[in-house]
Structure 1
């Protein structure tokens, strides 16, 4: 509670009604002096945070470990001790957006640079390999000479490939010489070639994915490998999840409304269930991201990889089971009917949400700068 000085004037500054006690009975505003000492800004913030903090941790406890109970409590009218569903969803969405970007990336130790002596030795060994490949007919003399010329140029430096492994220029040249097909995008090596394939494509696949291919060719021109492009797409996919969930909220509630008694349950009730369940999904996704970040800092041991995979599997299974438990507790139908309705709803919404997510991720990826 605030410790601000109560005004002598009993007229509420907000609604002009008479205030007999500290709080106005009409609008709820505290009838304290509007001008306060500077330190009041900090004390007021601490008081508000402590009050919200108590609500928040209790709400999180119910949300994570008591499926459906938070929704039941809210719908029964017990709302003062919990964070409101909309506030909860917005807050968790904000944290899911913000926290992963603040967590430091793991800095795997980069391979040591080779000395000039070792580089020269490696260069000589590579030239001998090229000569053997030329003699056996694997390489033509022109290609062999081209690679040797590149090796002798001033651009001969230590670089890193798409997997993070150190390699030299001649290694890159050899890899590119024998991996031209792997560098194509949907069978095309350029947008001109892609468009020519699109003209003969009757399925419409090349037409639908043209913006995506254009973006990938643009990234390829900037030096990104296919693996880096895929990583970028999945990164975009993860950041798109909160947007997809937010847009899908009314759709999810609508499907719940269709499958349940219209007289007993209002659309509002389904909306509360959806807000709580989607808040739970965002929170578990955030936990998965944090777990991934933590294990990325640990040594690449089999035990740590096993633990990371096990934790991820447990969380994903719990995310699925959670819906059925929450659905059964809130809607209080028989177990068989609850499992049947829950299964249909789960499958339908998984398909719908996946489509929404893929569409939004596609648009977000194409619009990347």
Structure 2
């Protein structure tokens, strides 16, 4: 009987007695391993198998992605309810799907801002002016150096200018105005001590352009500690950010998907406290929070795309309006409470969200600057 079956179905001769992945004993009738899900086949990998497996996995993912997006957008709260009730294979993982949606959103937002001609012109205008000014100064200096009286006495214009007191330098704030010795700094508290040192370092760098922390500590007669070196380096970067704020803005925006990823678990904790009497545990609230935030990113992706294609500014406004209604419907469907309770908790939840967002933004800015 088995021989006849092998002649009709050649695949049976490649069925193994054990799973090649987890070594679980298998029967000839087992098409897949019941333990790990790997296909029961001892046949060597060939090109056709690779192509079939690649496209089957691709279409399977696309099918799950389409279903996730459809339910997420048009059935508020349903995908979270299905997921916590065990219907998980039909949907994309909420945490990975959040990261994918957030990264795509920030990429689209960055592209739409970068390709606006007016913005690029405004960003480059100051830089071009500075370059032109430097070129003019260099040309003027080279011409003035050819003045016979200066050339005869071997006097360079730049050395002559340096010997003349500059009114601009006199009006600039000097580090000497706030300078304190190491002993004086040690007598102050921790916050004032480091704030004063940062101000001194910042002003000293502006005056000297000294990039070596060790040389700066020697000149300022401060202790050569790792903390002082780090603080001096941050004062240099603060000067860079102060003159070029877009550099830090781009850096901070690139980290926002991961900042929000760690912010949402804190927000889910407050949702759990708000629905403490309900039968949901913390992880179920967290899944709901990630699905809602993912929806916001998807709506923003659509809104930004509309604004970019139509050169309008109503796409994001429409996305915000839709999201307000979407959040209310999600809370109503997922938690199953009445309209009055849902509206009250909706308002309270938004107050909590924006309060936590401000605190998280401040902390994120401090941390981002620390590692910048």
Q: In structure 2, the residue corresponding to 1:350 is in which secondary structure?
A: helix
Query: Which of 345, 352, 356 lines up with 2:349 in the alignment?
Result: 345
User: Which structure has more helix as a fraction of its residues?
Assistant: 2
Cα deviation 1:275-316 (Å, max 9, x = unaligned): 212222333454566567x37xx8xxxxx4xx22x2222223
Cα RMSD (Å): 4.6
Change (3 A) 1:345 1:110: closer
Structure 2 equivalent of residue 44 of structure 1:
53
Structure 2 equivalent of residue 334 of structure 1:
338
Structure 2 equivalent of residue 247 of structure 1:
262
Query: What is the count of residue pairs matched by the alignment?
Result: 290
Distance 1:330 1:209 in 2: 53
Structure 1 equivalent of residue 152 of structure 2:
none
Query: Which of 313, 323, 326 lines up with 1:322 in the alignment?
Result: 326
Structure 2 equivalent of residue 66 of structure 1:
75
Change (3 A) 1:236 1:209: farther
The answer to whether the aligner puts 1:358 opposite 2:365 as a matched pair is: no
Question: Displacement, 1:365?
Answer: 3.3
Q: In structure 2, the residue corresponding to 1:17 is in which secondary structure?
A: coil
Query: Which of 267, 270, 275 lines up with 1:260 in the alignment?
Result: 275
Distance 1:324 1:190 in 2: 56
Cα deviation 1:34-92 (Å, max 9, x = unaligned): 62103432331111011110110121122234321211222333333221223322433
The answer to whether the aligner puts 1:82 opposite 2:83 as a matched pair is: no
TM-score of the superposed pair, with normalisation by structure 2: 0.62
- 1:171-182 to 2 correspondences below 5 Å: none
Change (3 A) 1:330 1:30: same
Q: Which has the larger radius of gyration?
A: 2
Distance 2:328 2:106 in 1: 27
Structure 1 equivalent of residue 292 of structure 2:
277
Distance 1:288 1:103 in 2: 11
Query: Which of 27, 31, 34 lines up with 2:36 in the alignment?
Result: 27
Change (3 A) 1:354 1:36: same
Structure 1 equivalent of residue 160 of structure 2:
none
Unaligned runs of 5+ in 1: 112-122, 124-147, 157-176, 299-303
Unaligned runs of 5+ in 2: 1-9, 123-132, 145-165, 203-231
Question: Displacement, 1:324?
Answer: 2.2
Change (3 A) 1:51 1:339: same
Cα deviation 1:317-350 (Å, max 9, x = unaligned): 3334432221121111111111111221221122
Distance 1:26 1:325 in 2: 39
- Asked if the contact 1:190/1:217 (under 8 Å) is kept, the reply is no
